Homo-oligomer: A and B are copies of this chain.
Amino acid sequence: MNIPKTSFPRIVIIGSGFAGISIAKGLKNKEVQVVLLDKHNYHTFQPLLYQVSTGGLEPDSIAYPIRKVIKGYNNFFFRLANVEEIRTEENTIVTNIGALEYDYLVIATGSETNYYGNREIEINSMAMKTIPQSLNLRSLILENFEQALLTDQYHERDALMNFVIVGAGPTGVELAGALAEIKKGILPKDYPDLDTRRVQIHLIQSGDRILKEMSEKASQKAEDFLEGLGVQIWKNTRVTGYDGKTVTTDTDVDFETATLVWAAGVKGVEIKGLNAKDLLVGGSRIPVDEFNKVKGHNNIFAIGDVACMQTEDTPKGHPMMAQPAMQQGKNLGENLVRLLENKPLEPFVYRDKGSMATIGRNKAVVDMKNIRFQGVFAWFVWMFVHLFFLIGFRNRMVVFVNWVYNYVRFDREARLIIRPFNRNYSAFKD
């Protein structure tokens, strides 16, 4: 990898999502050599991917060059690499660009879509965890309508205009809401020669309420909002299969659709070597102690979605979301410095800043520790918070311009098929 060995200890960080970036900041210009690895050269602001898929935002404005994040971090080396294996005995990682020794290893590989072993769904459905995936979904949605224009078969046309979203977490709910807005505001103008009233948006949820991580009130309100927008919600329904045409469920309902978006779950990204099956806990996560140290290792840490810190308050670990990732990254960064100064470590304490989801124009739900609210104000809070956490002034400006424009004009101009989605070329999937 062409990285010089110095007298400073070497910390290798795998992944530059919220957790990786957060720990990087804490190690800036400290007396350590840091090697940051990622399979992309950019950081992705995942909470806004659904807006890329629905033509509301450019991908470039929710991505940020990693090399720019670490500009002026004189003790940092970034490498674009896929980590293939961890050799714990040799304190070495193996990547597609060579092997590298570490003194300390930080695993911040995040999470990927969880198909729960259903290969058929994995092959035929669309995911929305990366920018390329989101662009594929954007292309497919637009291609479906272009295709729908060409057929006289009602059955086929309806299937092309049906959208089935599995999983009613924030991603599923926000995507469903955005599609409903598009149906109302854009499709009738873009496709005057198509009966876009027939467009259907189905949101399927195995549990008995949507946004189940949030309060009852938020769930109920979000449900009202979605139904007001014409989204059809199916609760207590588990999707069992999708052959690219028909979605089957464990109830007697099934759906004919050309587009199944799978937002039903995530799991930790496994790396060969460390993540021996006996080590991993539910959802392929790595069990860590209160210092994010991986059980059974002294110089390997895991943070963010991939880490599972089981405490009394969090028997299943912390929620796989941005907040715990950023907080764990910050805490571990400080702890590594303490470690090298032989100071005692601080255990991780999660501060739940609440959660929120937007359903559409003027519609959002916010749960905070002591206060919960829904509607227009929640929607403004949602926008403010997302602009605030977005990295980079230019990104904030561009996203802001887009949001103002889209709001004022009831529009989303990034409805472009820049690279057609090709089901048969799987490399397009991520």
Residues of A within 8 A of B (CB): 1-2, 40-42, 58-61, 63-65, 67-68, 71-72, 74, 77, 79-80, 97-98, 131-132, 135, 142-143, 146, 149-152, 189-193, 392-395, 397-398, 401-402, 405, 409, 411, 413-419, 425, 427
Residue from B65, B77, B149 within 8 A of A2 (CB atoms):
B149
Q: Known interface pairs A80-B146, A142-B41. Does A416 touch B152 (Cβ–Cβ under 8 Å)? A: no
How far does the alpha carbon of A144 sit from the alpha carbon of B105 in the complex, in Å?
28
27 A-B contact pairs sorted by A residue (CB < 8 Å)? A2-B149, A2-B150, A2-B152, A41-B146, A42-B416, A59-B60, A60-B60, A60-B414, A60-B418, A63-B416, A65-B413, A68-B190, A68-B413, A71-B190, A79-B146, A80-B143, A80-B146, A80-B417, A97-B150, A98-B150, A394-B402, A394-B411, A394-B413, A397-B405, A398-B401, A401-B401, A425-B427
CB neighbours (8 Å) of A1 from chain B are 150
Q: Which of B67, B146, B418, B427 contacts A59 (CB 8 A)?
A: B418
Cα distance, A98 to B131, chains bound together (Å): 33
Among A63, A65, A401, max chain B CB count under 10 A is at A65
Contacts of A418 in B (CB 8 A): 42, 59-60, 63, 131-132, 135
Q: Are B65 and A416 in contact (CB under 8 A)?
A: yes
Copies in the complex: 2
- Give A156 Cβ to nearest chain B Cβ, in Å: 12
Of all chain B residues, the one with the shortest Cβ separation from A395 is: B413
A71: chain B residues within 8 A (beta carbon): 189-190
- Identify the closest chain B residue to A405 (Cβ): B394
User: Within the assembled complex, what's the spacing in Å between the Cα atoms of A63 and B142?
Assistant: 15
A40 contact set on B, CB distance < 8 A = 416-417
Shortest A53–chain B CB gap in Å is 13
Q: Which of A40, A152, A397 has the most CB of B within 10 A?
A: A397
Q: A416 and B41 in contact (CB under 8 A), knowing A79-B149, A397-B405, A405-B393?
A: yes
